[in-house]
Amino acid sequence: MPERAAIILAAGQGTRMKSALPKVLHPVAGRSMVDWSIDLARRVGCQRIVTVISPNANVLREHVAAAFGDNASAVQDPPLGTGHAVQAAESALSGFAGDVIVLYGDTPLIPASAVEALFDELEAGAGVGVLGFEADEPGAYGRLVTSGAGELEAIVEAKDASADELRIRLCNSGVMAVRAERLFRLLANVTNDNKKGEYYLTDIVGLARAEGASCKVVTCREADVMGVNSRAELARAEAAFQTRRRGELLDAGVTMTAPETVFFAYDTIIEPDVLIEPNVVFGPGVHVRGGAKIRAFSHLEGANVEELAEIGPYARLRPGAHIGESARIGNFVEVKKTRVGKGAKANHLAYLGDGDIGQNANIGAGTIFCNYDGFLKYQTRIGDNAFIGSNSALVAPVRIGNGAYVASGSVITENVSADALALGRGRQTEKPGWATNFRTQKAAEKASKT
Ligand code: UD1
Ligand code: CA
């Protein structure tokens, strides 16, 4: 198999986003659009990935450099069209003789299978492979002009198209596969003699046909090639991702009673036989194992949930929450950087941060791990089978031994030994008849004043 490289076009200005942030750094499903393209390039085996950026996109250059080092971006200055943008990546790919895939930085939902199919066309002898789709409204998209024999003859931009060509509904997604040598050789012959006065990447199809090479179209769904130019389109891309992911998870054996109200991140892993109730949001980094229940109105990010655990309703799992098998995290419980042991329970109203909770421990309502002194964070460790009475404040660093009890309403500042009872509260006293005397006295006082 020839080596593979990707060129990701991201030098457009993205003015319609009305944002200080470069367009391709806006997230879809918790991951920036350019990272979607980079991830796609990696998944199809591209060893070299060059992102074409505009000269003033410092944040974007640094973002790409953080992933791949300084040679990962090429500057296009000024932007003279998609063909010109690809040429800007030529020197970064000098010496590369394999297959190139051109991707856009603002088109996040392309399936890897579509790109693999394009590379397959090259391996089967095609000179150029283009990813196309049947558009509901072809509008401004480039049209794919095909011949009867399934051959792609040319791509015509809407502005340059004839009335007949405008009726074609098979459109260009922008994704194109070409061997590097042919790509840069043909691009050198592309002119800007067209309505937009731009150097069109799409012109290489006609040039490849003129030199006798075959050009092939691979198709995918319109929703998979949705490009983002505005906040409204960003929201549409998000919605398209969510619709696709919900469908995949339902097919994979996840139960959702109202899937349209459940939101996933790009990397959410939900195993078969998980139940997800309505109105649940998954941020990045969540893995939920089989048989777990995620109940309504819960928010999870950076969390692991083991088999048969039950989360919510109204629970919040933050990064580093690890909820053990059959454990229960109930309403208004927040868990951060804390391992909750097998079968342990925190059913109501608690903050569990920077801790470790043993198997079958019971954390009462209103328990707070006081983990922070304004400067540093400290650990709270609770042993197996320990019982923390309601409304206890555990001032970290602190350890509660296996099987120990903490009395309700305690403020615990010292370690508690295994199987002990710790009380950290004022002792209750009682004054018989006090209330009667108080009322009599106060009533007399009030009467003397009126
Ligand atoms: C392009 C295609 C069109 C296709 C459509 C799909 C061409 C000539 N046209 O049109 O056939 O249907 O995409 O969305 O290729 N970019 C640069 N530098 C430039 C110009 C563009 O980096 O000088 C980048 C943009 O940031 C963007 C991508 O290339 O990521 C596409 O550019 P855009 O101007 O949106 O192309 P379209 O005119 O929509
Ligand atoms: Ca566009």
What's the pLDDT tens digit per position in 197-233?
A: 999 999 999 999 999 999 999 999 999 999 999 999 9
> What letter does residue 374 receive in the DSSP assignment?
S
Residue nearest to atom 3 of ligand 1 (CA): 142
CA 234 to centroid of ligand 2, rounded, Å: 13
Which residue has 């549409």 as its token pair?
236
Q: Is 263 in the pocket of ligand 1 (CB under 6 A)?
A: no
Peptide bond into 55 cis (omega under 30): no
Mutate to test the pocket of ligand 1, among 32, 50, 82 (most ligand atoms within 8 A of CB): 82
Element at 369 (helix H, strand E): strand 368-370
- Ligand 1 contact via 175 beta carbon (within 6 Å): no
414-440, pLDDT tens digit by residue?
999 999 999 999 999 999 999 999 999
> Between the CA atoms of 423, 426, 432 and 434, what dihedral angle is there, to the nearest 10 degrees?
-150
Does the beta carbon of 201 sit less than 6 angstroms from any atom of ligand 1?
yes
Calculate mean pLDDT across residues 390-409.
Answer: 98
Query: For residue 60, what pLDDT is reported?
Result: 95
Assigned token pair, 352: 């569990």
The closest alpha carbon to 102, from 17, 186, 194, belongs to: 186
- Closest residue to atom 11 of ligand 1, CA basis: 142
Predicted pLDDT at 92: 95
Hey, how many other C-beta atoms are within 10 angstroms of the C-beta on 429?
Answer: 5
- 80-114 pLDDT, tens digit per residue, is 999 999 999 999 999 999 999 999 999 999 999 99
pLDDT (average), residues 250-271: 98
Ligand 1 atom nearest residue 157's Cα: 11
Q: Give me ligand 2 centre to Cα 164, in Å.
A: 22
DSSP for 303-367, please give it. Answer: -EE-TT-EE-SS-EE-TT-EEPTT-EEEEEEEEEEEEE-TT-EEEEEEEEEEEEE-TT-EE-TT-
User: Could you identify the atom of ligand 1 that is nearest to the CA of residue 105?
Assistant: 30
Please report the pLDDT score of residue 246 as a whole number.
Answer: 98
What residue owns the CA closest to ligand 1's atom 25?
Answer: 12
Ligand positioned closest to the Cα atom of 13? 1
* Average pLDDT, integer, range 338-367: 98
Cα dihedral 28, 31, 32, 37 sign: negative
Banded pLDDT at 116 (limits 50, 70, 90):
very high
Atom of ligand 1 nearest to the CA of 52: 22
Q: What is the pTM of this model?
A: 0.93
Distances (CA, A) of 240 to 39, 108, 171, 234, 236: 18, 10, 19, 10, 6
23: CA distance to ligand 1 center in Å? 14
Helices (H) and strands (E) in the chain, counts: 9, 33
What does the H/E/C string look like for 203-248? HHHHHHHHCCCCEEEEECCHHHHCCCCCHHHHHHHHHHHHHHHHHH
pLDDT at 70 over 80: no
Element (H, E) at 88: helix 82-88
**Is the CB of 205 within 6 Å of ligand 1?**
no
154 ligand 1 Cβ < 6 A: no
Q: Determine which residue's CA is closest to atom 39 belonging to ligand 1.
A: 141
Rounded CA-CA distance 366/357 in Å is 16
| Ligand 1 atom showing the smallest separation from residue 104 Cα | 30
Question: How far, in Å, is the centroid of ligand 1 from the Cα of 437?
Answer: 86
Residue 223 pLDDT: 93
pLDDT of residue 163: 97
**182-192 burial: b if 16+ Cβ within 10 Å, else e:** bbbebbeebee
CA distance 90 to 113: 26
Q: Both tokens of residue 224? A: 């998979």
* Nearest ligand for residue 34 CA: 1
